Structure 1
Amino acid sequence: MALIEAEVPINELDVYGDTASHIAVRMARTSILRILIRHGADLSIRNSTRQTPKDLAKSI
């Protein structure tokens, strides 16, 4: 929530090419992922390994 309250762009990439959605999936934080989606997270963004958050979820 701090990212949203600070108005950080929700689809910003980190140094690994991950968005907050990628990280939430990797950490199995479904409640955070739901919040990100409600605030406009783009689940089609691919990270540096060409994976979307959905791709990551399938591999866990």
Structure 2
Amino acid sequence: MKKSRSRASVKQMSGLFGKTRQAWYKAIQRSERQQMQALLVIHEVKKSERTSPAVVSENYIIC
């Protein structure tokens, strides 16, 4: 027996929150961009830790 699922469209979901489809997709893109930037920062910090761990540790304490 097939299970029936209620699938709401992006238009319906965004309409519930008073947003347009474009705003919905823009928010998704913004979130993905922020995640990518965070990953790049983590990568650079880890790379710096490998080359000079003492300097990176001092910078963490200062910040």
Q: Which structure has the bigger radius of gyration?
A: 2
* TM-score (ref. length: structure 2): 0.26
Greater relative contact order (Cα < 8 A, sep 6+):
1
* TM-score (ref. length: structure 1): 0.27
